[in-house]
Amino acid sequence: MSYAEVYGRWQSDPEGFWMEQAEAIDWVKKPSKALWDENAPLYEWYVDGEVNTCWNAVDRHVENGRGSQVALIHDSPVTGTVQKITYAELRNRVALLAGALRARGVEKGDRVIIYMPMVPQAIEAMLACARIGAIHSVVFGGFASHELAVRIDDCKPRAIIAASCGVEPGRVVHYKPLLDGAIAQAAHKPDFCVIFQREQEVAELEPGRDVDWHAFQYGVEPAECVPVAGNHPAYILYTSGTTGQPKGVIRPTAGHLVALNWSMKNVYNVDPGDVFWAASDVGWVVGHSYICYAPLIHGNTSIVFEGKPVGTPDAGTYWRVMADHGVRSFFTAPTAFRAVKREDPQGEFIRKHDLSKLEIVYLAGERADPDTINWAKRMLDKPVIDHWWQTETGWPIAANPVGIELLPVKVGSPSVAMPGYEIHILDEAGKELPRGELGAIAVKLPLPPGTLPTLWNAEARFRKSYLDTFPGYYETGDAGMIDEDGYLYIMARTDDVINVAGHRLSTGAMEEVLANHPDVAETAVIGVHDELKGQLPVGFVCLTKGVNRPHEDIVKECVAMVRDQIGPVAAFKSAVVVDRLPKTRSGKILRATMAKIADGEAYKMPATIDDPAILDEIAAALKTIGFARS
């Protein structure tokens, strides 16, 4: 079948299409129907089915003869180790861990926070939760205590599973003090914490609260897979919105299984048994979907890579990993390729490795600039596929469906809508725009299986953030257009979310931190174009009247506050003191105009600006920190 036929088949009979895809999943009880639309515009899928994620990701492969196949390869250039775990071993490890969690009182529906680096134990912890129907929430290791505390208070975990440390190039990340700090800050206290002690740093355990990963599993009964309802939350993953309070995206169990399984062949073109590698982190949605769940559900071997594209030890690491483990399909963020290209523009490292097994490269997470795509295509002599999706959807909205057919690649476009997604470009009033015109990207409801049904404990926010602007549609928060061939182009965010090295961050959250500085009266943070990371945050602060401390000191303190409260991942290194901020007459800060000035782009003088002269002051201030490109 061609892409057009598959998409047409879904359009003409969505219910039949999704029931057919559900056949690939092992159900304890088959669902009687796919879509549940009784509470529209809130939709759910496969609600009356009963199923277990861990069974589908692990046990069934052992039952079906894949027990000795490697499920996970932990390749860690930062510790100089490689470890392989077969499906049979994975089942035993996960069943025991799940049994130990249960013995300590973790039950179906309880939340468990996981705060770990890229070690296989992070995946095992996720699967152990899934095995007993506990709802995990993984927090990215680059977030500091405050961000962790906010998540603890929002999802109220019974337990937290953490590692003693992470290893970043040149430094050990001390997870345990960050965890202790977060628990001290949070109003909610977990019953207990499980600490995986790494060789690189052993953490001190708090008696009565902390248990050792190995010791607490001693003598427990392994847990069997617990069936859950189709709409049971598989996990909560927090993502950045407009404010400092992150959004708890819920992933529904059954739709997640069906959609991810479908995507492995149809989008990523791998067959069971193939080696698949998504070079991301378990703390992000790419890590959830394409390091942990999808490859395992589909019976692939997944690589858990603990390193960076450059510097661990060099710009050839990616190619070495692909050659060593025979990767067929590879997925990363464009930033990673920009980092490699900067160090190895001629691809000399590439030629040192046998990449004959590698067929295709996929990019997502941020805009894939044509330079990077063309460079990768030239160097690797393989198709390089851009595709577009979000934490909220959990799997691609638009892609080149290589496993169905490789459509002509248009550089700059993530290609076409996947089945389940009907994409529209709307103007501010919600009117459909003609082909080729730029507008808000919206997806006609219902969203397909696997996408978020709502936000954790925040239905009103869910409706306001995604459903209210364009009734009948899901608002993606991205702006773009569709060309005459139906190819989509993603141009920008329509909100205050920025994308730094493929990491989704909220400028609003950074502003909230800066506003707490005792000398700061008002602040704005914008995303400025960066050659390597795509965007970088830059802060503007106006000081409280009468403050006359050196500006450099205040800026240094601001930078330290963001690193301390949000974490190093915010990459907040630049700020400048200004007398005032440009605003509309109604008091709205003109962040988009400021960002255009910083990027040296032409901008229209906003008609409602209260004093145009401020824009010159902003340009001058940006020059002092090396940002205004005129």
Q: Does 567 help bind ligand AMP (rule: CB under 6 A)?
A: no
User: Among candidates 391, 367, 392, which has minimal Cα distance to 466?
Assistant: 392
Q: Does 399 help bind ligand COA (rule: CB under 6 A)?
A: no
User: Among candidates 43, 190, 176, which has minimal Cα distance to 110?
Assistant: 190
Locus of tokens 């182009």: 489
Q: Does 324 help bind ligand COA (rule: CB under 6 A)?
A: no
Q: Does 569 help bind ligand COA (rule: CB under 6 A)?
A: yes
Compute the distance between CA of residue 543 and CA of residue 511 in angstroms, rounded to an integer.
14
Which residues, numbered 501-530, are part of the site for ligand COA (CB under 6 A)? Answer: 501-503
Compute the distance between CA of residue 319 and CA of residue 355 in angstroms, rounded to an integer.
7
Q: Does 478 help bind ligand AMP (rule: CB under 6 A)?
A: yes
Which residues, numbered 164-223, are part of the site for ligand COA (CB under 6 A)? Answer: 166, 168, 173
Pattern of binders to ligand COA over 528-567, x per CB under 6 A? ----------------------------------------
Q: Does 452 help bind ligand AMP (rule: CB under 6 A)?
A: no
User: Among candidates 329, 264, 332, 271, which has minimal Cα distance to 294?
Assistant: 264
Give 259's Cβ-side CA count (13 Å radius): 27
Q: Does 141 help bind ligand COA (rule: CB under 6 A)?
A: yes
Cis peptide before 446, with omega less than 30 degrees from 0?
yes
Binders of ligand AMP: how many residues, by CB under 6 A? 20
Q: Does 336 help bind ligand COA (rule: CB under 6 A)?
A: yes
Cβ–Cβ under 8 Å, residues 98 and 222:
yes
Minimal distance, residue 596 CB to ligand AMP, in Å:
18
Which residues have a Cβ under 8 Å from the Cβ of 107 and sit 6 or more positions away? 132, 133, 134
Compute the distance between CA of residue 53 and CA of residue 231 in angstroms, rounded to an integer.
12
Give the residue nearest to ligand COA (CB).
502
Which residues, numbered 271-330, are part of the site for ligand AMP (CB under 6 A)? Answer: 284-285
Amino acid identity, position 467: L
Which of 493, 573, 596, 623 contacts ligand AMP by CB under 6 A? 493
Q: Does 439 help bind ligand AMP (rule: CB under 6 A)?
A: no
Locus of tokens 């902003």: 618
Minimal distance, residue 188 CB to ligand AMP, in Å:
25
- Give the torsion through C-alpha atoms of 322, 323, 329, 334, to 10 deg: 40
Q: Does 451 help bind ligand AMP (rule: CB under 6 A)?
A: no
Residue 227 region, left (φ>0) first, then alpha (ψ -120 to 50), else beta? beta
501 binds, among ligand COA, ligand AMP, none (CB under 5 to 8 A by kind): ligand COA
Which residues, numbered 362-381, are part of the site for ligand AMP (CB under 6 A)? Answer: 364-368
Greatest pairwise CA separation for the chain in angstroms: 74
Q: How many CB atoms lie within 10 A of CB 536?
A: 22
Which of 234, 490, 558, 569 contacts ligand AMP by CB under 6 A? 490
Structure tokens at 482: 């569709």
Which of 31, 77, 299, 309 contacts ligand COA by CB under 6 A? 309
Q: In the complex, which residues of this chain contact ligand AMP (CB under 6 A)?
A: 239, 284-285, 364-368, 386-388, 390-391, 414, 477-478, 490, 493, 499, 504
Q: In the complex, which residues of this chain contact ligand COA (CB under 6 A)?
A: 117, 141-142, 166, 168, 173, 280-281, 284, 286, 308-310, 333, 335-336, 339, 365, 500-503, 568-569, 571
